[in-house]
Amino acid sequence: MLIEGYKEISIAKAGILSLAGQKSWGAHFELTSDVRAIFPYINAMIAGARYHDQPAYIIFVFEGVHCTLYPKEVVAAPFNGRESANAFAQKLVDFLNDLHLRQNEIIPNYRKYRPVSAIEIFRLLPGNNCQDCGYLTCMAFAAALSRGKTTADHCPGFASPIYEYAVYPVYDNDGKLTQTVTIEKDPEKQKEMPDRALEVVETGSNNDENRDTKKTQALGQPPLTDREKQVLRLLSGGSTNNDISEMLRISPHTVKSHVIHIFNKLGVNDRTQAAVLAAKHDLI
């Protein structure tokens, strides 16, 4: 067990409104152990989590409660009073202990949240308010992007990146992720690599399995497993992780693990790139 419990909760009126429109209570309490080691696992398991460093803390929503978790402290809201805050604190401790026990089953997400202001984003936009992104103005799009409500590819005139970074996993002999390595990529060269790398494939064996193996090896990565091909085929068709979980009768965590392995093997950063590469080079 990582955490034995928590110390007495202090509560105060918070700025978050309850469903009744009244100011609710916020809570602060201290944990008995330092939990910063499982921040990447929270980041992997809870959608929308924001993992910060300098100082280290993570923000997420758990059981409908907005929570800011520091290495040994928690600030959370809203609550109806001390009783609901105590109940939440125990649920959070149980959740963190469960994550600690299941670390070997979860692929941690070490990506840190780096907030960018709407003004900085606006400088990257064409400024013509074309509304192709679905927002009335470029500034509205910039504000939405800074809050994570949209993505850069929704703007056809968004400035092209000078550099991109890929994060690769490093595993120990037992298959447990020990660290990640970030490598800088040249976006223009990266666009050219798949075509050049796959030119050597055409003279390969007629055997389907050997051909698929050569295609992924030509990309500098191990071949996709049969299960990874199934997952890639489904995500290329637009299925979400939950959809794939139900169709293949495997857990969402297992699906996420397969997706990460697929991205690493194909050298891509998102589902769209994976689908395009799979279709272009007949990987599925």
CB neighbour list of residue 231: distance below 8 Å, 6 or more residues apart: 244, 248, 255, 258, 259, 262
Confidence at residue 220, expressed as pLDDT on a 0 to 100 scale: 46
Do the Cβ atoms of 71 and 127 come closer than 8 Å?
Answer: no
Q: Would you state the pLDDT for residue 30? A: 94
CA dihedral 83, 84, 90, 92 (to 10 degrees): -160
pLDDT for 167 equals: 64
Tokens describing residue 140: 């509205």
Q: At what angle do helices 241-248 and 252-266 cross, to 10 degrees?
A: 110
CA distance 52 to 59: 8
What's this model's pTM, rounded to 2 decimal places? Answer: 0.49
pLDDT single digits (tens) 104-153: 888 888 888 777 788 888 888 988 999 989 999 999 998 888 877 788 88
Q: Is the pLDDT of residue 154 over 80?
A: yes
**Rounded Cα distance, 139 and 208, in Å:** 50
- Reported as a pLDDT band with limits 50, 70 and 90, residue 164 is low
- pLDDT-based confidence at 235, cuts 50/70/90? confident
If you average pLDDT over residues 9-18, what whole number do you get?
Answer: 72
pLDDT at 29 over 90: yes
The percentage of residues in the chain with a pLDDT greater than 70, rounded to a whole number, is 74
* pLDDT tens column, 186-208: 655 555 554 444 443 333 444 45
pLDDT at residue 112, as a whole number: 83
Chain centre distance of CA 163: 20
pLDDT attached to residue 199: 41
